[in-house]
Amino acid sequence: MSSRFRASLLFLGAAALTLAACEREEHHSRSKPIGETVPAGSSPQTIYPGGSVPPALDARAKLFNNNANAISMGQTLYQQMNCVGCHSHGGGGMGPPLMDDQWRYGGRIDQIATTIAEGRPNGMPAWRGKLTEDQIWDLAAYVRSMSGLPSKDAVSSRSESMSGPTPQTLTAKPQPTNSDAAPQ
């Protein structure tokens, strides 16, 4: 992308982003829980045998995908629930890194939420029943932001703790590398 193209996109983007404010800034009423992420025991939705079309993105994704409040809450929960213990600040350790573009079980927000709720083999605990569904989706939104996937105006640049990774507002958005061609 040439710099001039980026510049004109920038100015158009500024206008568009202002108008899209509602989505980014909304505090969705948490009085109504959003319902189950996935029914218990479902399989990961990352394998589409026979070249079939990946399932449509969950309707709840748009409440969380580019929502600054959800991503911020997810950032708080990430600290509080000690995700840092295995994934550190996205760089990985015992658990796989979350800030890269490799998604074993899919990088869409509903797939990440399923991962958190269900747990995964080799050590990812199941948080169903330990966190509410809203909290799981908040975490999923934050995990996506570590790879630079949401729009930049919805993420906060850093947390108020020791600096680790590149500020999220400057994290580049990677090209997807797995076969998951579903809309991010």
Partner 1 sequence: MTDVRADAFDAAPARQSERERVEAENRQLAEERKKIARDGPKLKGEKLAARLDLAWRRPRGIIGWLATVDHKEIGRRYIITALGFFVLGGIMALLMRLQLAQPDSNLIGAERYNQLFTMHGSTMMFLFAVPVMEGVAVYIIPLMLGTRSTAFPRLNAFSYYMYLFGGLMLWGAFVLNIAPDVGWFAYTPLSGPQFSPGKRADVWAQMITFTEVAALAAAVVLTSTILKCRAPGMTLARMPLFAWAMLVVAVMIIFSMPSVALCSGMLISDRLVGTNFYNAAEHGDALLWQHLFWFFGHPEVYIIFLPATGFVSVMVETFCRRPVFGHAVVVLALISTGILAFGLWVHHMFATGLPRVGYSFYTAASMSVSIPTGLQIFCWLATIWDGRPRFQVPMLYVVGFIVTFVIGGLTGVMVAAVPLDLQLHDTYFVVAHFHYVLIGGAVFPLLGIFTYWFPKITGRMMNDTVGKVSFWLVFVGFHLTFFPMHLSGLLGMPRRVYTYPAGLGLEVPNLLSTLGTFILAAAVVLFVVNGLISLYRGVIAGPNPWGAASLEWATSSPPPVYNFEHIPVVESDTPLWDVEGELPVVTGLRVDEKEILLTTVVAAAPDLREPVPAASLWPLIGAMAVGIVFVASIFSPWALVFGLVPCGIAFAAWFWPKELKRNPEPVIS
Partner 2 sequence: MTRRATAILPLLLGACSYQHYQSAFGNAAVEDSQFLILFTIFLVVCVVMYVLVMGFMLLGFLRSRGAAEANVVETGRHHHSHPLMRTALIGWTALIGVGLAALAIASFFTDRSMAKAATGEKLSITLTANQWWWDVQYNSSDASKTLRTANELHLPVGVPVRITLASNDVIHSFWVPSLAGKQDLIPGRESDITIVPKRTGIFRGQCAEFCGAQHAHMALVVNVDSYPDFIKWWDHQLQPAAAPTNPVTLAGYEYVTTGPCGACHNIGGTPASGTVAPDLTHLASRRSIAAGTLPMSEGNLYGWVEDPQSLKPGVKMPTIGLEPGQLHAVVAYLETLK
Question: 24 — phi, psi (to 5°)?
Answer: -75, -40
Residues in the chain, total: 184
31 vs 122, which CB is nearer to partner 2? 31
List, in sequence order, every residue forming a beta bridge with 124; answer none if it has no partner.
120
CB of 176 to partner 2, least distance (A): 31
3-state class (DSSP) for residue 120: strand
Amino acid at 85: G
| Residue list 59-78, contact with partner 2 (CB under 8 A) | 73, 76
The yes or no reply on residue 135 touching partner 2 (CB under 8 A) is yes
By CB under 8 A, name the one of 81, 84, 86, 124 that touches partner 2. Answer: 81
Residue of 136, 96, 135, 92 whose CA lies nearest to 112: 136
41 token code pair: 């025991």
12 vs 40, which CB is nearer to partner 1? 12
65 token code pair: 């995908």
Residues touching partner 2, count (CB under 8 A):
17
4 vs 160, which CB is nearer to partner 2? 160
The yes or no reply on residue 29 touching partner 2 (CB under 8 A) is yes
Interacting residues with partner 1 (CB under 8 A) = 3, 6-7, 10-11, 13-14, 17-19, 21-22, 24-25, 27, 68-69, 71-72, 75-76, 152-154, 156-163, 166-170
The yes or no reply on residue 52 touching partner 2 (CB under 8 A) is no
Query: Who contacts 8 (Cβ-Cβ below 8 Å, separation ≥6)?
Result: none
124 vs 131, which CB is nearer to partner 2? 131
Residue of 165, 164, 122, 131 whose CA lies nearest to 147: 165
CB 90 within 8 A of CB 164: yes
159 vs 184, which CB is nearer to partner 2? 159
Residues near partner 2 (CB under 8 A) are: 27, 29-33, 73, 76, 80-81, 129-132, 134-135, 160
